[in-house]
Amino acid sequence: MNFTIKTAPLQNTTTSCMVLGVFQNKALPEVTAQVDKLLKKQLSKILDAGDITGASGQHIIVHNPVGIRAKRILLIGLGKKSALNRKHFANVLDITAQVLNKYSLIDALVTLPSLSVIDTPADKLGQILAQSFENSVYRYNFTKSKKGKKPTLKKVDLYLADKTQRSAVKKGIDIGSAVGKGMAVARELGNLPANFCTPSYFGEQAQALAKRNKALKTRVLGEAQMRRLGMGSLLSVGYGSDEESKLVVMEYKGSTDKARPNVIVGKGITFDTGGISLKPGGSMDEMKFDMCGAASVLGTMTALCALKPKINVIGVIASAENMPSGRATKPGDVVTSMAGLTIEVLNTDAEGRLVLCDALTYVERFKPKSVIDIATLTGACVVALGGVNTGLLSNNDTLAEKLFQHSQDVNDPCWRLPISEDYQKQLDSNFADIANIGGAKAGTITAACFLSRFTGNYPWAHLDIAGTAWLQGKAKGATGRPVPLLMEYLLNN
Ligand code: BES
Ligand code: MN
Ligand code: ZN
């Protein structure tokens, strides 16, 4: 999608559709009031007639307005003026983009960036707008024989009443559109069925991305290489599968200096049957989404390649398929991790931590400034935080605080849970250094406690996206979270 900032007077601008906001109780934002004047109060009359009240997301189309050079006006409700915060603003933009595509419009002039939104500087307005619009054109088609109608919106002009905001808004747009593209990549990978999206597919996609972008280098380690590195824990997860497990390592080098990188590590279980500790059948299809952490890593690397910031980032994907078979790991088996710790696999369904721990040891070689892992790790996190907040657990208060703040900044919220000593003893094992499950209580925390045993050498945070990575029901599909949060963190740290 192409974004252009316009500051010329509105009456001179030609467009297929001018998007104007209206507050609840018919209050008009400044720009809308100006246009209303040009239209000899046509908008006020529409509001007086009660056709639209200005409730958030409500909208109507006005055809052939006389007095401006727009073929249509899309009047969109903004809700209460005093309540227009970032979240509501983003929601209004999502609906705007949907409506424009529904009417098959190719271009539009959007005046919403001229609004004032609570606690939101101009660059963030541009960022939220571009992200929403870019994300709104994603459609899943890969495995449908009849491809759906393509979204039409291609060219979006943004009207700014205040010319001095131009460069800030431009900066935000560049970030937002890169993030939107990254989210689309994460959603597509998440949505792909497990007979298409395999560990090898991740490797191929990462290599293809590196081929298109000079700043990115990709290496894909297979099982033999991982065996040599001593990754007995990661490998044990794929024993029951005919798909080869892979460790994908992507190095984005935007800065020439030797700046230490921030590292992101994604759980890439391309299908999680539970293994010998087999899951029940209901909704098991959703376990194709068990690679959404990995998808968010590839999505973030894609966004970095689009934006080209001068930073160094390493993205790692730990990928395997968790299947039962005569060769699969059994409950009670003991495996040895790359770090040397032995692990009693009491439940083969707690496999995410088994692939992550070896990847977390592997990344020590990069002397990371910080390491963030992203994983659909525990059903307990869905119970605790639902589909709203991503679970955040960390061994470093500064890092946790930053991630929390950034998550609020970009409407991709996370909420911290504790990992204190008291929980660690739930992982005691009679037959190994550590067990891979910690009992019925505090499942999200004990999973993070397990990971914390492997992350002592750098500031580390864990994002449990089990509840936020995909939607269920009619809108079933991957969300692209937490690409916005990861990008915000990487760009500002
Ligand atoms: N991938 C699942 C977690 C999950 C379940 C995410 C449902 C989203 C929805 C993970 O591998 C898993 O099975 N975790 C177990 C851990 C348990 C055996 C300690 C869980 O949460 O039940
Ligand atoms: Mn599992
Ligand atoms: Zn899993």
353 flagged as catalytic? yes
The pLDDT assigned to 148 comes to 87
Q: What is the pLDDT of residues 385-410, one digit of tens each?
A: 999 999 999 999 999 999 999 999 99
pLDDT of 249 higher than 90 = yes
**Distance between CA 260 and CA 459 in Å, rounded?**
13
Q: State the DSSP code for 260.
A: P
For strand 312-322 and strand 470-471, is the pairing parallel, antiparallel, or unpaired? Answer: unpaired
Q: Is the CB of 352 under 6 A from ligand 1?
A: yes
pLDDT category, 149, cuts 50, 70, 90? confident
What pLDDT shows up at residue 256? 80
Distance in angstroms (rounded) separating the CA atoms of residues 404 and 412:
9
Of 279, 369, 416, 476, which residue is the catalytic one?
Answer: 279
Going by C-alpha positions, the residue among 133, 126, 70 that lies closest to residue 101 is 133
Query: Could you say which ligand is closest to the alpha carbon of residue 274?
Result: 2
| 220 shares its domain with 107 | no
Residue 74 falls inside a structural domain = yes
Mean pLDDT, residues 200-225 taken together = 98
Specify the CATH number for the domain of residue 72: 3.40.220.10
Catalytic residue among 124, 353, 402, 453: 353
Map tokens 């808004």 to a residue: 169
Ligand 1 atom with the smallest distance to the CA of 322 is 11
Same domain membership, residue 383 and residue 419: yes
Does the structure show a pLDDT above 90 at 140? yes
89 lies in the same domain as 35: yes
Closest ligand to C-alpha of residue 267 is 3
Q: Write the residue with the smallest CA distance to atom 13 of ligand 1.
A: 349
pLDDT at 428 over 90: yes
The position carrying tokens 């065996």 is 227
E strands, 143-245, are 155-159, 216-221
Residue 167 lies in a domain: no
CA–CA–CA angle 476, 482, 485 (5° rounding): 150
Same domain, residue pair 81 and 156: yes
Cβ of 379 closer than 6 Å to ligand 1, yes or no, is yes
> From the CB of 331, is ligand 1 less than 6 Å away?
no
171 inside domain: no
pLDDT for 383 equals 98
Residue where one domain finishes, among candidates 128, 161, 194? 161
User: What mean pLDDT is predicted for residues 158-173?
Assistant: 97
Looking at every residue in the chain, the average pLDDT score rounds to 97
Which pLDDT belongs to residue 26? Answer: 82
Residue whose C-alpha is closest to residue 343's, from 428, 455, 449, 459: 428
Average the pLDDT over 131-151 and give the result. Answer: 94
Distance of CA 388 from the midpoint of ligand 3 (Å): 20
Statement: residue 25 has pLDDT above 90 = no
CA angle 51, 52, 54 (to 5 degrees): 165
- d(CA 121, CA 278) in angstroms, rounded, equals 50
Smallest CA separation from ligand 1 atom 7, residue: 379
Kindly state whether residues 99 and 199 are assigned to the same domain.
Answer: no
Span 418-423, mean pLDDT? 96
Could you tell me if 154 and 207 lie in one domain? no
For 479, counting Cβ atoms within 10 Å of its Cβ (0-12 exposed, 13-18 middle, 19+ buried), the class is buried
How much is the pLDDT for 229? 98
Query: Quick one: pLDDT band at residue 181, thresholds 50, 70, 90?
Result: very high
Domain that holds residue 16: 2-161
Ligand 1 within 6 A of CB of 351 = yes
Same domain? For 152 and 199 the reply is: no
CA of 378 to the centre of ligand 2 (A): 8
Residue 169 counted as domain residue: no
The confidence score (pLDDT) of residue 73 equals 97
**How confident is the model at residue 401, as a pLDDT?**
98
How are beta strands 460-464 and 390-394 bridged, if at all?
A: antiparallel
Catalytic residue list contains 279:
yes
Tell me the CATH number at 259.
3.40.630.10
Residue 172 lies in a domain: no
Asked if pLDDT for residue 222 goes beyond 80, the answer is yes
378 lines ligand 1 (CB under 6 A): yes
Q: Which backbone phi and psi does 36 adopt, to 5 degrees?
A: -55, -40
Q: Which pLDDT value is given to residue 186?
A: 98
Q: Are residues 193 and 145 in the same domain?
A: no
Same domain, 149 and 203: no
Q: Are residues 155 and 214 in the same domain?
A: no
Same domain, 188 and 135: no
Encode pLDDT of 320-367 as tens digits.
Answer: 999 999 999 999 999 999 999 999 999 999 999 999 999 999 999 999
Question: Is 170 within a domain?
Answer: no
Ligand lying nearest the CA atom of residue 345: 1
- Residue 113 inside a domain? The answer is yes
**What is the per-residue pLDDT for 216?**
98
Q: φ and ψ at 328, to 5 degrees? A: -70, 155
Write down the residue that tokens 């690679």 correspond to.
Answer: 291
Residue 421 pLDDT > 90, yes or no?
yes
Provide the whole-model pTM.
Answer: 0.97
Pocket test for ligand 1, best of 276, 349, 373, 470 (most atoms within 8 A of CB): 349
Which of 69, 71, 6 lies closest to 38 in space, CA to CA?
Answer: 69
Return residues with CB closer than 5 A to ligand 3 (ion): 269, 272, 290, 352
Ligand in nearest proximity to the CA of 427: 1
Q: Mean pLDDT, to the nearest integer, of 287-295? A: 99
**Burial grade of 120 (CB within 10 A; 0-12, 13-18, 19 or more):** middle
Residue 257 has pLDDT above 80, yes or no: no
Residue 473 backbone zone (phi > 0: left; psi -120 to 50: alpha; other: beta): left
Q: Examine residue 178 and state whether it is found in any structural domain, yes or no.
A: no
378 alpha carbon – ligand 3 mean position (Å):
7
Q: Sheet containing 246-253: give its strands across.
A: 216-221, 246-253, 312-322, 262-272, 370-375, 460-464, 390-394, 414-416
Share of the chain above pLDDT 90, in %: 97
Query: Which amino acid belongs to residue 29?
Result: P
- H/E stretch holding 393 reads strand 390-394
CB atoms under 10 Å from CB of 81, counted, come to: 17
Q: Are 377 and 466 in contact (CB under 8 A)?
A: yes
pLDDT at 258 over 90: no
Q: Whose CA is nearest to atom 5 of ligand 1?
A: 379
Q: Are residues 298 and 355 in the same domain?
A: yes
Looking at the 3D structure of the chain, how many domains does it have? 2
